[in-house]
Copies of this chain bind each other. A is one copy, B any other.
Amino acid sequence: MGDPLEQLKSRLTDLHGLGDIAFLLGWDQRTIMPPAGTGHRAQHLALLQRLAHEKLTDPEIGRLLSEIDAGSLDPDSDDAGLVRLAQRTYDKAVQVPVALRGEMALASAEANPVWVRAKETSDFAMFLEPLERNVELRHRYVECFEPQEEPYDVLLDDFEPEMKTADVSLIFDEIKAELVPLIAALRDREVDDSFLVGHFPLDRQLALDHEVVDMFGHRPDTWRIDPTEHPFASGAGIDDIRITTHYYEDSLKSLFSTMHEYGHGLYEHQIPRRFAHLPIGTGCSLGLHESQSRMWENLVGRSLPFWRFFYPRLQEAFPEQLRGVEVERFYAAVNRVQPSLIRIRADEVTYGMHVILRFELEQDIVNGRVELRDLPLRWNEKMNDYLGVEVPDDANGVLQDTHWASGLIGYFSTYLLGTVMSVQIWEKAMEDIPDLEDRIERGDFTALREWLGDHVHALGRKYTPEETLRRIVGTGIDAKPYLAYLKRKYGAAVTA
């Protein structure tokens, strides 16, 4: 039968291929599928998921893994990384009965349309029963594994492998202690952003989005940008990267959203070709993925050097809106700090508190410290405590995000972990490329793109997120650079 490592690779190539195919089907569904195709698509995605699960949990995978002498492999080799990942993924997957996975998938599929209706009518009570079902199934899921210090660890591990609840709590508590007073200090500053609301013709936004993505850079004939309801990045391989955006005729949000998705897309685009067909050939974790998207959106896209370069193009595209607005005023406006209700519309400073709120509530849910029917109340209290905003209704509160409807408990913290890591990685890039800001001000993004390729993307999923970060920046996750960045940027430059 040949070398067990080669046999393993062959099986894992199929597994990864099924994932890529599912990405394409998901992309199609969310961009261009005839709406009535939903029924077929759900069946096809369920089929792919089932086939992938069968491939992953095939006892032959376990046998091959046991036959491979992992100790004899160079621990930094692709093969060693693949075997580590495969062992870890296999060991987790075989703990969970197929029937429970099916129940979880079904419960999510059933909860989602109920959540859509509940949000539309701002009626949390309608959503309570499917939410209870999702939570109950997560409890059963947690019970499949060895007892952990925190049951929430099991859930978190699915999104940020080997990250522990206690570690996240430490980081988030440190952030909270600094953010709450920072927000209080910034919230009443006068910043004129009136020119960001108005009429921005869609065709010019579309052209600018393409211009930005081409300017940031990628190989030719490999990317698409398409409109969608909720933006995401996807792709069916390193040469087939698809990012999406949502256009608003009355604002420039799409531009920042496109830069965000560019960061996700670039991560997958720059995965080394030699292992792109294997499970190590993708972003390392949700957190590290978010570090890439937040970097392009915020550290590049909301920086003064970037706008010194690109603002004339923007003025040219929207002369009615931006004539007479200097770049410093524009920069201040796109960085205005204003506590608000909705996470995905939050500025850089308040964003973290939206995530911390959800992280805390999720632990209360999993540990039974909150009755689910009391969630809106608890949500609203925290919004008031952390951001000083009154929640007018559940559509703008506890019902705003889709994650819990999809059973994704443990996911939210990766948004803020990624943001924290984005600053750590950015500062390391600045060390290695001392004139990085000058380059950006000249419209030269090559050095940054290549540095990310060599130092971040080249590692794929060969190591755990913690080890990956350590190899990039030399230390573990650390909130201090992020907090210092916020204080530096929002203590001074914004008021320029």
Contacts and interface: CB of A to CB of B under 8 A. Distances in A.
A203 to B, nearest CB: 14
B40 A236 contact: yes
A369 interface: no
Contacts of A368: none
Contacts of A39: 237, 239
A476 interface: no
A32 interface: yes
B222 A34 contact: yes
Contacts of A14: 47, 51
B40 A237 contact: yes
A36 B218 CA distance: 12
Nearest to A224: B34
Contacts of A219: 36
Interface in A369-391: none
A171 interface: no
Contacts of A223: 34
B25 A43 contact: no
B44 A239 contact: no
Contact of A37 (B48, B51, B240): B240
A18 B21 CA distance: 11
B221 A34 contact: yes
Which of A44, A220, A224: most chain B Cβ within 10 A? Answer: A44
A116 to B, nearest CB: 17
Contacts of A147: none
Which of A20, A21, A35: most chain B Cβ within 10 A? Answer: A21
Count copies of this chain in the complex.
2
Interface residues of A, number: 36
Interface string A13-56: 01001101100110010001111110111011001100100000
A223 B35 CA distance: 9
B239 A40 contact: yes
A238 to B, nearest CB: 8
A241 interface: yes
B277 A37 contact: no
A236 B47 contact: no
A37 B41 CA distance: 22
B222 A43 contact: no
A82 B263 CA distance: 49
A18 B17 CA distance: 13
Contact of A18 (B25, B33, B47, B238): B47
A43 B277 CA distance: 10
Contacts of A47: 14, 17-18, 21
Contacts of A51: 14, 51
B277 A33 contact: no
Given A21-B47, A34-B242, A36-B221, 8 more contacts: A17-B43, A20-B40, A21-B25, A21-B48, A32-B32, A34-B224, A37-B240, A40-B239
Interface of A: 14, 17-18, 20-21, 24-25, 28, 32-37, 39-41, 43-44, 47-48, 51, 219-224, 236-242, 277
15 contacts: A14-B47, A20-B40, A20-B44, A21-B44, A21-B48, A24-B25, A32-B224, A34-B222, A34-B242, A35-B221, A36-B221, A37-B236, A37-B240, A40-B236, A40-B237
